[in-house]
Chain A
Amino acid sequence: MNLTLRVWRQKNAKTSGQFVTYQATDISAEMSFLEMLDVVNEELIKKGEEQIAFDHDCREGICGSCGMVINGTPHGPLSATTTCQLHMRFFKDGDTITIEPWRASSFPIIKDLVVDRTAFDRIIQSGGFVSVSTGGAPDGNAIPIPKEDADKAMDAAQCIGCGACVAACKNASAMLFVSAKVSHLGLLPQGHVEADRRVLNMVATMDEEGFGNCTNTGSCEAACPKEISLDNIARMNRAYAKALFKNKLA
């Protein structure tokens, strides 16, 4: 198939960017979206033009590197699918595809489709862990965990930190990402001990990093390639309220 691409090109953080139109010809339905971009990039290089920069690594939907807004939707039209796992059979000959980077002030653009998501790392650093050092852990079976709890924790733990939730949200809120980690750890006895401190610190960092508020529109959940559920946000809100209250009493 042949496609018309409108791609956001921006040299670096300091310059402003613009859309540039390219033709993608002879694209096969079996290709992944990134393989389609590879083909376009090879042609650009042959013409002496710099390739379109985009983040990617695993190309298996698990590292969370890739991410672009495709026709207005983060990670494109297919639900529960990262950009690298999107295949061209979901497009048709003659389509025009608009490709942009994540747009959020907390994710500054580095170049073309590449953005800086280190704010997510800083949120995890502020509390997204269990404070145990290596050595001295009790036997793995010392604390039985109901299968339902372990499964729910796993559902939340599947977040790949891609940032699509932020890109999808009109407020650029990071609530889905933060709540996924708060839920994952809070649902397990190992993470329960520090649950109050964790939620207060992570929310504070999220605010400091400039992410917006949650107004419950649910666009994050719809864009999330790992189907992280809005229930996590509700759970985090409860945990946050409880922790604040306990803090006041203390």
Chain B
Amino acid sequence: MSITLESKIPSGPVGQKWSRYRQDMKLVNPANKRKFDVIVVGSGLAGASAAATLGELGYNVKCFCFQDSPRRAHSIAAQGGINAAKNYRNDGDSIYRLFYDTIKGGDFRAREANVHRLAEVSVNIIDQCVAQGVPFAREYGGLLDNRSFGGAQVSRTFYARGQTGQQLLLGAYQALSRQIAAGTVTMYSRTEMLDLVLIDGHAKGIITRDLISGAIEAHSASAVVLATGGYGNVFYLSTNAKGCNVTSTFRAYKKGALFANPCYTQIHPTCIPVSGDYQSKLTLMSESLRNDGRVWVPKKEGDNRHPNEIPENERDYYLERKYPSYGNLAPRDIASRAAKQVCDEGRGVGPGGRGVYLDFSAAIQRFGRKKIEERYGNLFEMYERITGENAYDQPMRIYPAVHYTMGGLWVDYELMSNIPGLFVIGEANFSDHGANRLGASALMQGLADGYFVLPQTIGGYFAAQKNGKYPADHPEFRKAEEEVRARLNRLLSINGKKTVTEFHRELGKIMWDNVGMARTESSLMHALERIPVLRQEFWENVNVLGSGDDLNPALEYAGRVADFLEFGELLAYDALQREESCGGHFREEYQTEDGEALRNDDKYSYVAAWEYKGVDQFPTVHKEDLKYEEVKMSQRSYK
């Protein structure tokens, strides 16, 4: 297959592209929509909103998730909020400013046209969610409240206490439930997609495993939408839910879909530090805490006095010192690296010296404890539950952790991958955040894709298509089913000595130490040597007990880790190829004198989209050049 990267960006000024696109797009006759079957894999914000909206439009939808209910998708855990350019505060916000902030926050590595569209539909999202009954925070006058978030100087973040993701997802889940009742959507919970099926080069279905009965099934459709989230768990420890995985997008990659910018991974600055080897995941403390919390470490190395005993003049509020205009609200990548730096200098706090303080005493003095409780009560509670410490009386301890992945399957303006009929939405695609995502923008993107963009653009594909779908016993389905069965049987028959978790932990350690917050050519080369060795050992020595014919969590997990063991290598290749620092990708060789990321726009202002060439083969990189017509590229500065 020869590959050309056609971004299909409509012509015209950036502010008119989306409306022009909609004027020109081909429509599917309402009576014909019923004839098109759409598979939506994933029921998070992106998947649930897409499945519900496609159902409302009259398409025949099948939606899949691996949890026992679509309401439990990882999106449920988002805490802080969702951005929208409503300018309800009258503080100078606008669609243009949200667009600009997102492009700049992404370190000039995102597509202008996509980002502008995102900013445009952001306002519709809030309206839609309010109409669904999402209980956003309100002011006494009854109007919607906002808060500020990192990387922006306006207050444009809408929130529902510390549970914004939960409330938005429940809104989408309820809309989805309404369509399930109406018969337009069939829901398959506890069902995992294990392969993508292509017929004549088009995505025409998937192979799934029923996680309760173990049955391998073929599902045929006119198009496939992947909304399966991010790949942060390749690092083993992350803030992602335990089940988050790369399987569906990686399977699609192996079938020819291009994987774009996998090295753009976001490390979140405010997570609860690791406490021991048994640690199974890391917990995020919402970034919104940085609105009122001040970040500091002792000025002296190895100062292990109780934080309350360290006098003001012996504390280094390093974010305020280094970035006076953004201070504690500096973007995530910058705040994370700054924390690593002070810990590397030996000034970190808590177990192993990998932690910094997030201190609320000034805010409590200023606004009173009650106000702080109202704003962050549930987060303080969560912190206490996990650490046993009370953050009203002493500062929280935080440390950066893997949180979000900007990379994902390559998609064009219509959110279609290079495989016709395969659409990718939400965190699973690469599209809108460039090299770094701003806080409260993932929820916005997931819902923009699912409610407002994909349901429109998918019609263009159908309108131009004659061959709708194929019977599920087509030879391509049979072949893919057999491959899936063979792989599961192979996993079950190795009977080695090590558990899946042990392999996952080892992979995570390789990734975090060598491909984590700071990368160098030699660390990446080291990772590229170690990962294939570990992968080989996995296939010779993993122990997966039980059978494939009933609920078997070990088998599910083994399949996901097997994919991570290939994917980690791709991530490292991408990081090695990109000889610059930008956003979440920091190469130590490329930094300014004061330690900031040093981009190389002449050579690297492109999207790197990788083509699979076989296990143990070097993948081929394809490049989509990024053109900045609206925004002038500049060195990102938050000083």
Contact = CB atoms under 8 A, between A and B. Distances in A.
A63 B76 contact: yes
Interface stretch (B277-285, B310-318, B602-610): B277-285
A34 B280 contact: yes
28 contacts: A11-B550, A35-B280, A38-B278, A39-B278, A49-B545, A60-B382, A61-B385, A64-B69, A110-B551, A121-B189, A124-B173, A128-B177, A129-B178, A130-B174, A134-B52, A135-B452, A137-B131, A138-B131, A140-B144, A144-B142, A145-B142, A147-B140, A154-B135, A154-B167, A157-B170, A158-B163, A161-B69, A185-B133
Report, nearest first, the 8 A-B pairs whose CB atoms are least far apart: A144-B142, A129-B174, A137-B131, A137-B127, A154-B135, A140-B130, A133-B56, A63-B72
Nearest to A64: B72
Report the contact-size class of chain B (Cβ under 8 Å from the partner). 35 or more
B212 interface: yes
A231 interface: no
A243 interface: no
Given A134-B452, A137-B127, A118 B69 contact: yes
Nearest to B557: A51
Nearest to A186: B133
A163 to B, nearest CB: 10
A150 interface: yes
Interface in B362-405: 382, 385-386, 388
Nearest to B181: A125
Interface string B114-141: 0000000000101111111101111111
B166 interface: yes
A57 B190 CA distance: 13
Interface centre among B127, B187, B388, B502 (most CB of A within 10 A): B127
B179 to A, nearest CB: 9
B595 interface: no
A63 B241 contact: yes
A140 B128 CA distance: 8
Interface string A165-207: 0000000000000000000110010110000000000000000
Contact of B166 (A28, A42, A62, A111): A62
A83 interface: no
B518 interface: no
Contacts of B468: none
A6 interface: no
A62 B132 CA distance: 20
Nearest to A146: B142
A126 B178 CA distance: 8
B143 A141 contact: yes
B591 interface: no
A135 B243 CA distance: 32
Interface of B: 49, 52-53, 56, 67-74, 76-77, 86, 88, 124, 126-133, 135-144, 160-161, 163, 166-167, 170, 173-175, 177-178, 180-181, 187, 189, 212, 241-243, 275-276, 278-281, 283-284, 382, 385-386, 388, 451-452, 455, 499, 501-502, 543, 545-546, 550-551, 553-554
B212 A110 contact: yes
A144 B141 contact: yes
Contact of A124 (B126, B138, B177): B177
B99 to A, nearest CB: 20
Nearest to B131: A137
A53 interface: yes
